[in-house]
Structure 1
């Protein structure tokens, strides 16, 4: 089992799948883990890409007792993995909260970044603010966290059931619920941090190509928020998934993988 020591003897779990092509680092969403990419990784490997996945701090197979589980801390782990594995010009791909992590990591990687992929990315803001009318409120987030404190299994089951708008089958929803249950209570602080951060000043400075993938019926990161964020990047393309919710890679996997592979194939060497 591959572990990256990142804080006071605590470790983050990761996988490094070798391949001759451009490396792709997959960053999962809040409180799930790298298993969410189980239908994405094989397609990337089949196309020749090297693939790196990780479990966020307090999620999955990573240690649960981290002191710092902020978005910035998780992003620092992504950067540390890129450096440890000596990845040249990787693409960082983030889903949901992982989108905010990916943006933060991208700003730190600078010139050593080929592209950015955001699937229902919770960036530049997850909550509404002055000049950004998209998303819910910090009170909404605290409501979810309060429900988790009272009944973690039932609350996470409801969240898992709301991720997809298209039917994906009971087994897929169950698998997501089980991933949620592998997270520790310190993961809650990552969501609380997401509700407060603002990345609007970061997006214009990203000069690499950006692929935005968004479900029209996304109940967590509204499609209109993703569409508005497109205008903040120097070079971004938006792909709309009609009828899909927050996880188009599960709801319309064939189209999702085709768009992802096409984006990767079009990047400069």
Structure 2
């Protein structure tokens, strides 16, 4: 797989690890915190089988990409995403952002427009604004983020281990036929799979990324609405990391023309635990 050097004015250069599979219309997958592009393992084969080119990169400082001493902000992340699209010369691409990656998607579209992009999918998204204010009453208090930063600095492995547990809490296959034992086994398997990846995140990156979660994306969302791109929003109703009432529901109010789906019982890690549901929605979206 190619490595791409992201060199721009927003931060020091970084080498991004990129996964690039298949041919056809590009689908660019942008992962969430604290994982990397490997979290798309259940989407990439389905997309390739459906005739699409699946591209996914590790965010700078995450996974197999290099870090820089600066650049923990969404303008940098969006510029890195632009480096991926321009270096691979991708056009007619659909951007798929999961959790923190959804912030990169909307910031990219605000900063770089839609010349290379024909659609956006926001899964368990971070926008529009996670901080509690008069305009976002269902958000989280600033003290919550201060606490998380303190925990990440004091004990990054413990912090990340607990976060992975929250990512999959309440998960299951979503068929409605699972027993409590089966659901618990699936949750434990997901936690066992992804805890080593999460806890490999460098301690500096672990803490430095957290302040970006209170980025105000409302102008980015307005820019997306103005572009008129086909957009899909999906979120699990049992998300403990980015609660749906603080994220996707107000986001859909700002993007009323977007497709919208609440996945009943799904946790934050729905792209893994409810992969069949997510994949089916993605492939249907790409067909239009």
Pick the TM interval, shorter chain: over 0.9
Task: Compute the displacement of 1:187 (Å).
Answer: 4.3
Task: Compute the displacement of 1:146 (Å).
Answer: 1.3
Residue 147 of structure 1 corresponds to: 151
* Matches for 1:96-245 after TM superposition, within 5 Å: 96-112=99-115, 113-164=117-168, 165-166=170-171, 167=183, 168-184=186-202, 185-195=204-214, 197-206=215-224, 207-224=228-245, 225-233=247-255, 235-245=257-267
CA RMSD of aligned residues (A): 1.6
Residue 254 of structure 1 corresponds to: 276
- Where 2:114 maps in the other structure, the secondary structure is coil
* Residue 87, structure 1, aligned to residue 90, structure 2: yes
Q: Distance in 2 between matches of 1:9 and 1:223?
A: 35
Task: Compute the displacement of 1:193 (Å).
Answer: 2.0
Q: Distance in 1 between matches of 2:193 and 2:143?
A: 28
Q: How many correspondences in the alignment?
A: 264
* Matches for 1:27-66 after TM superposition, within 5 Å: 27-66=30-69
1:85-129 CA distances to partner (integer Å, 9 max, x unpaired)? 111121111111111111111223423211111111000112222
Task: Compute the displacement of 1:9 (Å).
Answer: 4.7
**TM-score of the two chains, using structure 1 as the length reference:** 0.92
Q: Distance in 2 between matches of 1:187 and 1:63?
A: 14
- Where 1:128 maps in the other structure, the secondary structure is coil
Q: Distance in 1 between matches of 2:150 and 2:122?
A: 28
Task: Give unmatched runs, 5+ long, in structure 1.
Answer: none
Q: Distance in 2 between matches of 1:91 and 1:134?
A: 30
Residue 4 of structure 1 corresponds to: 4
Task: Give unmatched runs, 5+ long, in structure 2.
Answer: 172-182
- Cα contact 2:17–2:64 (8 A) shared by 1: yes
Task: Compute the displacement of 1:135 (Å).
Answer: 2.5
Please identify, of 148-157 and 75-84, the stretch whose mean Cα deviation from structure 2 is larger: 148-157
Task: Compute the displacement of 1:132 (Å).
Answer: 1.0
Q: Distance in 2 between matches of 1:66 and 1:15?
A: 24
Residue 180 of structure 2 corresponds to: none
Task: Compute the displacement of 1:39 (Å).
Answer: 0.4
**TM-score of the two chains, using structure 2 as the length reference:** 0.86
